[in-house]
Amino acid sequence: MKRQRKLWVAVILLAGFHGLVLFAGVFAPYSFSAQDRELPFAPPTRIHFFDAQGRFHARPFVYGLKDNPKIFGAYETDSAAIYPVHFFVQGARYKIAGLFPSHLHLFGVGAPGRIFAMGSDAYGRDQFTRFLYGGQISLAAGWIAATLSVLLGIVIGSLAGFYGGWIDDVLMRGGELFLALPWLYLLFAVRAALPLQIAQWEVFLLLVAVIGLIGWARPARLIRGAVLSAKERNFVTAARALGASDIYLLRRHVLPQTYGIMLTQMTLLIPQYILAEVTLTFLGLGVGEPMPSWGSLLASLQQYYVLSSYWWMFLPALLLIPVFLAYYIAANALQERLKSVPL
């Protein structure tokens, strides 16, 4: 069926992308903090097969860069400096998934040549490398925060829907308060109040937790709605008449009705929270240098001279679009599936 195919295409795309990001060390030619101070804001490196004399090289190569004397800050290729691209090279050390050390890279060129697949940033760091490593931070942020939100939403939503009455009132009003609060200040306050001794990843986790914990209101509402309708169903009334306890009812009969919603919410929330992380890093509240995240990659676009002179800095934003699209397609497909299941 069309819908099934769409869902699977989206899932495969997402899996491929996440795999790329998880094994960033292999696919990226450099380490994310390696600066080349001679080459700030270098454009993406072109791959050539034919050199200036017209000769064909079986192995693709890149040219070196030197300063363009006519335009301040621009580069021109140096046809004399040829750096062939090698595959499965030894390069900077890294740890796969933070555990297994390795220094195998899929591709690379010999120094002092550079292969900037997506150009370089203000410090001469490879944007492609930083995009992959940055994905680790941003995607993790999205997943963790979304999981937190949905978990909290389940707890609160089911309590509110199941018991109703004043519990429902209080919880839902509390949810409104959470939606209304200026969470931006809360984050500033939390970030600023943290002691310096916390490791960067702890700061990150804390911020992600805060985002996730704030966003429970919407999923809670939806789950509450589902619990409300589920609890009136015949089989629940029957089970209750048979003497089932509240916990049992919730666990075995009511909550399974909400799985669809939970899944859909996750797929919707993950990209939202990734964007939230991006926004936070814009404002300087994310992980610090030199750890990249998609937010910090895009943050440089806030400056007009970058926006207007260095087009390759847009690429991370453009690459985000298919990722988010895949999430949305998955979410849509799941929602359609939900609707087609008779309730």
End-to-end CA distance of the chain: 21
290 binds other proteins per the rule CB under 8 A: yes
Please pick, from the candidates 107, 123, 147, 244, the single residue that binds other proteins as defined by CB under 8 A. 123
Helix (H, G, I), strand (E, B) or coil at 244: coil
Which backbone phi and psi does 76 adopt, to 5 degrees? -135, 155
Pick the binder of other proteins from 53, 197, 234, 340 (CB under 8 A): 197
Nearer to other proteins, 85 or 119 (CB): 119
In whole angstroms, give the CA distance from residue 336 to residue 319. 26
Instruction: Pick between residue 107 and residue 123 the one whose CB is nearest to other proteins.
Output: 123
- What's the min distance (Å) between Cβ of 1 and other proteins? 13
- In DSSP notation, 40-57 reads TTPPPPPPEEE-TT--EE
CB of 90 to other proteins, least distance (A): 17
Chain residues 301-320 in contact with other proteins, contact rule CB under 8 A:
301-309, 314, 317, 320
Helix (H) / strand (E) element for 66: namely strand 56-67
* CA 268 distance to own-chain centroid: 13
Considering the rule CB under 8 A, would residue 111 count as an interface residue with other proteins?
no
Member of 81, 282, 315, 337 binding other proteins (CB under 8 A): 282
CB atoms within 10 A of CB 258: 24
Distance separating alpha carbons of residues 280 and 272, to the nearest angstrom = 12
The answer to whether residue 271 forms part of the interface with other proteins (CB under 8 A) is: yes
Classify 210 as helix, strand or coil.
helix
189 binds other proteins (CB under 8 A): yes
- Between 43 and 124, whose beta carbon lies closer to other proteins? 124
Tell me if 201 sits within 8 A of 132, measured CB to CB. no
Given 180, 242, 247, 341, the residue binding other proteins (CB under 8 A): 180
Among 335, 258, 339, CA closest to 10: 335
Element (H, E) at 221: helix 217-231
Q: Residue 239 or 338: which CB sits closer to other proteins?
A: 338
Binding mask 39-58 for other proteins (x = CB under 8 A): -x------------------
What does residue 42 show for φ and ψ, rounded to 5 degrees? -90, 140
The residues that touch other proteins, with contacts defined as CB under 8 A, are 33, 35, 37, 40, 71-73, 122-124, 173, 176-177, 180-182, 184-186, 188-189, 191-193, 195-197, 200, 271, 275, 278-279, 282-285, 288-290, 298, 301-309, 314, 317, 320-321, 324-325, 328-329, 332
